[in-house]
Structure 1
Amino acid sequence: MDSSSNNDVIPSLGEEEECNDTMEPVEANSRSNTPTGSGQDRKRKRTSAVWSSFVIVGKNAQGKEHCKCKYCGKQYICEGTHGTDNMKRHIEFQCPEIMMHDPRQMLLKNNKSANMTVSNLKSQNEFRTIVAETIVLHDLPFSFVEWSGVRKMIGYCTDEFHMVSRNTAKTDVLSLYGIEKTKVKTLLEEAPGRICLTSDLWTSIATDGYMCLTAHFIDKNWVLQKKVLSFCFMPPPHDGVSLADKIKTLLCEWKIENRIFSIILDNASSNNSLVHNLKSHLNINKALLCDGEFLHIRCCAHIINLIVQDGLKEIDGVVHKVRESVKYARASQTRKQKFLKCIKRVHLDSKRGLRQDVPTIWNSTYLMLDSAIYYRLTWTSLELADSNYKHCPSESEWENVEKLCKFLRHFYDTTNLFSGTKYPTSNLYMPKVFITYLTLMQNLASDDPFFKAMSNQMYTKFNKCWFDFSTILAIAIILDPRYKMEFVMFVYERLYGAESKQLEEVKGKFFALFNEYVTSSTGRSTIRSSPPSYPSTSSGRQRVDDIDLVLLDFDNNINGDIVDIQRTQLDLYLEERRLERSIDLSILDFWKGNEPRYPELAAMTRDVLSVPISTVASESAFSMGGRVLDQFRSSLLPNVAETLVCSRDCILGN
């Protein structure tokens, strides 16, 4: 069958050498395993894709070069005057091995009119997927696929794959997002518990607003999941009502509006109105636990940032000197060389380097101070060697910087701990915040006016934030088997005294929340607690006498029995000896193993431990930076920007 007659069925194979339809069988044994044609033939590059299915085996008895099929061993003349149509026809219609294993096998056309089998097509599709993932992961423009250097590199490495156009790359990225979005929807549907949200606003360099909504939940395997649901364009106004309406729309789109446990927000004034509107909407269908008592949680990392920033304002003088010193040493190549000479003079390691801070980001200020204090002797040496250097701190100021670094280290580590997304953080809040309280109280009692002024300012802010924290974070520590109720009692007694009303309030809300889970699982508990069933012996219609109505009171007591069973379940957990606080415990593994013992309590724990205590989780979809989109993303259409952000989060999560 002539290949040209099948153009309506099989796509064109591309330009090839002129064919010879005569099939000349050759001897199986060849004189040489190395082709020995003319120099012109040796230099000529074989570009046809059929050579992925054929191999050169040498010359026959007549001195003609021949090849054989890799699958069935059929041999053909393959000198330059014969072309490759015979071999193409063999692969398409005649090879018994190919037809037996894959009856759909045929030759297809790719974008460069080269030949490709079905298996190679699969490889090309996988290659395109990898290209799309590369664009997403490394923030590359779609034009990346058309860069001459990239195309040259791919061409050098292999001729099996062919780089796509920028429009095709964009289509592939959009398709990739569709696939990943479907996976996230499936993951949400299979999750047995409720879902926590974090939301924050972003701004492009063109001042366009975007809302990032992230879901946090623990899946059926007790693995903490974080998925960016949306990174959508948010037109003004950015008031509470508009933000709440946008979130409600997204919750309906993802079909999770009846499964929300909490939402974590920063301290923006509009967020109070947002929470009020969202709570009112969700309570219409009784979608929230305890009427939304635990819906709103403030971002703890944001609170720490406010506390530290207030404290640093009080000691700005010494921080300013260090900042100006670092700027001076890094201002020019000449000064850098002079600073390096001073480092060698005092025998310190130059590889550690200096860090320049961003004054509005306090952790960068801490890192700057930490790097500068290491070169304390170097600064003194630089002051002697360079008369233009005027900002060297005094000995007493360096001592204060050293104390400040130790003090800020606690806040730096706590912020990093609170911002984690691979492990539960709600159970980490109370111990760390209590240590922060003790640290501030210790500094307030100090005779050092430097630290006393700073700690006094920070303590004022700390007190305000402490009283605003959500009770759910106290409940979370009760569900940690290393702390339980004893730790809450320990902390509250030191803060408010024995038998404080604050402690009773936590206990009351803890039991109320647990009862919500008991109520929702009553049907399940009834099955678990019900006695064995027996076949009925009555053969007619059962008669109910008035006296039987009295026994209904006894039947109804089964509900009370269930509640007693569940109360016993809770008492059993609280009365068991707590684990050692110092052990390295995976709290998710603990509750996964104890779920059969405490089914309702484990269900509540699953939701409480999924609560993040920082909104910076959404920022992990980006490499670095704050809530301002870079120039590349700012130039994209909103749907493309959302595709890149959400896809990157999914790929990194996978």
Structure 2
Amino acid sequence: MDPKSAAVMSGAIIPQIEPVDIGLGSVEKGSTILTAKPRKKTMTSVYLKYFETATDGKSRKCKFCGQSYSIATATGNLGRHLSNRHPGYDKIGDSSNSHTPQPVTVAKKPQAQVKVPAVELDHLNWVLIKWLLVASLPTSTLTEKWLINAFKFLNPSAELWSGKKFQTVLREVFRSMQESVRLTVEQVCSKVSVTLDFWTSYEQILYMSVTCQWIDENWSFQKVLLDICHIPSPCGGSEIYYALLKVLRLYNLETKILSCTHDNSPNALHACHTLKGDMDSQKWLRFAIFRVLLTH
């Protein structure tokens, strides 16, 4: 009876000791808990190979752009990051599955990304300049943070020119267009007519546009904008006269003016009569003034 009782006792004691040992081992060695939990979470997502775990084990970093996420971030969010920020990442991943060609692909793709966006970014900045001119917005609009952040969200590699470069490019475009107009007007052999238009900005600043019209040798009507002038205060007839005379001298049109059309305002009429008096003093020149009556 004693050996049997001993066997029963040993069988009863051993099963009770083993759970205690496992429990103690799990408390004393935290590594056993950490190794058991990842097995239950099935961390075999296809997205994880595109992220590298930080040395502290608390975050993951995207291999393409370096964006960091918490280690607890769901793999679905990682997948959305890859789809939105790196379209075609799965094709890149397939080509880099083998270890030997991986250094070659990594070395070639940064070179391609340096050359291709350079042309696209220049095109983007030129489109912004066109948008700026058509919308009549100030150049400071291009330095707004919301605009830069919007393009960064669409394409992290997007880079806009600085405000000084935008101003330099705009000046070069204006001078180039002005020179093109000057060469066109110089080739006109006949007399030309000018039209004056006036308007006031939101800041109550008076502006005047000077348009030139003529009939070419093929009896075709031609028209070109010469300039848009800011009329200084007090915006009287003398200020309009000097602004108009400056434009005519810029394009060497003092001796080619046939007529001038304006909006029949007193200041514009005074400026045109002053110009007519100057031209009448030169006996070989004749000058006509046409007034346009605006009706509502």
1:149–1:263: structure 2 CA closer, same or farther, 3 Å change rule? same
Q: 1:197 aligns to what SS in structure 2? A: strand
Q: How far apart are 1:156 and its partner, in Å? A: 3.9
Q: 1:252 is matched with which residue: 236, 249, 259?
A: 249
Contact 1:209 1:236 in 2 (8 A): no
Q: How far apart are 1:158 and its partner, in Å? A: 3.6
Contact 2:212 2:226 in 1 (8 A): yes
Pairs within 5 Å for 1:187-336: 187-204=184-201, 207-218=204-215, 222-236=220-234, 238-239=236-237, 241-284=238-281, 288=285, 291-292=286-287, 295-300=288-293, 302=294, 305=295
Q: TM-score, normalised by structure 2?
A: 0.57
Q: How far apart are 1:134 and its partner, in Å? A: 0.6
Distance 1:278 1:78 in 2: 72
Contact 1:136 1:173 in 2 (8 A): no
Residue matched to 1:183? 180
Q: 2:207 aligns to what SS in structure 1? A: strand
Pairs within 5 Å for 1:351-430: 362=296
Unaligned runs of 5+ in 1: 1-34, 48-54, 67-75, 92-106, 108-114, 306-361, 363-654
Q: 2:151 is matched with which residue: 145, 149, 154?
A: 154
Matched, 1:40 2:51: yes
Q: How far apart are 1:253 and its partner, in Å? A: 1.3
Q: Which has the larger radius of gyration?
A: 2
Contact 1:257 1:287 in 2 (8 A): no
Q: 2:51 aligns to what SS in structure 1? A: helix
Residue matched to 1:134? 131
Contact 2:194 2:213 in 1 (8 A): yes
Distance 2:231 2:289 in 1: 24
Contact 2:260 2:289 in 1 (8 A): yes
Distance 1:284 1:245 in 2: 17
More strand by share: 2
1:78–1:226: structure 2 CA closer, same or farther, 3 Å change rule? closer
Residue matched to 1:77? 104
Identity across the alignment (%): 15
1:123–1:182: structure 2 CA closer, same or farther, 3 Å change rule? farther
Cα displacement string for residues 206-233 of structure 1 (whole angstroms, at most 9, x for unaligned residues): 5544333222335677353241512223
1:36–1:151: structure 2 CA closer, same or farther, 3 Å change rule? closer
Q: How far apart are 1:258 and its partner, in Å? A: 1.9
Contact 1:211 1:234 in 2 (8 A): no
Q: How far apart are 1:138 and its partner, in Å? A: 1.1
1:161–1:285: structure 2 CA closer, same or farther, 3 Å change rule? farther
Q: How far apart are 1:78 and its partner, in Å? A: 4.2
Q: 1:296 aligns to what SS in structure 2? A: strand
Distance 2:205 2:268 in 1: 19
Distance 1:37 1:203 in 2: 61
1:237–1:282: structure 2 CA closer, same or farther, 3 Å change rule? same
Distance 1:144 1:248 in 2: 33
Cα displacement string for residues 258-298 of structure 1 (whole angstroms, at most 9, x for unaligned residues): 2212100233334454333212323455664xx33xx2111
1:269–1:63: structure 2 CA closer, same or farther, 3 Å change rule? closer
Contact 1:202 1:210 in 2 (8 A): yes
Choose between structure 1 and 2 for higher RCO, CA contacts under 8 A separated by at least 6 residues: 1
Q: 1:77 aligns to what SS in structure 2? A: helix
Residue matched to 2:95? 58
Distance 2:159 2:190 in 1: 45
For 1:176, give the aligned amino acid: V
Distance 2:217 2:144 in 1: 44
Cα displacement string for residues 360-397 of structure 1 (whole angstroms, at most 9, x for unaligned residues): xx3xxxxxxxxxxxxxxxxxxxxxxxxxxxxxxxxxxx
Residue matched to 1:446? none
Q: 1:279 aligns to what SS in structure 2? A: helix
Contact 1:258 1:287 in 2 (8 A): no
Q: 2:95 aligns to what SS in structure 1? A: strand
1:268–1:228: structure 2 CA closer, same or farther, 3 Å change rule? same
Residue matched to 1:640? none
Contact 1:244 1:275 in 2 (8 A): yes
Q: 2:194 aligns to what SS in structure 1? A: strand
Q: 1:215 aligns to what SS in structure 2? A: strand
For 1:136, give the aligned amino acid: L
For 1:44, give the aligned amino acid: K
Distance 1:278 1:242 in 2: 12
Pairs within 5 Å for 1:6-17: none
For 1:229, give the aligned amino acid: D
Distance 1:40 1:58 in 2: 16
Cα displacement string for residues 323-375 of structure 1 (whole angstroms, at most 9, x for unaligned residues): xxxxxxxxxxxxxxxxxxxxxxxxxxxxxxxxxxxxxxx3xxxxxxxxxxxxx
Distance 1:297 1:235 in 2: 25
Contact 1:144 1:166 in 2 (8 A): no
Unaligned runs of 5+ in 2: 1-45, 53-60, 67-90
For 1:58, give the aligned amino acid: S
Contact 1:142 1:167 in 2 (8 A): no
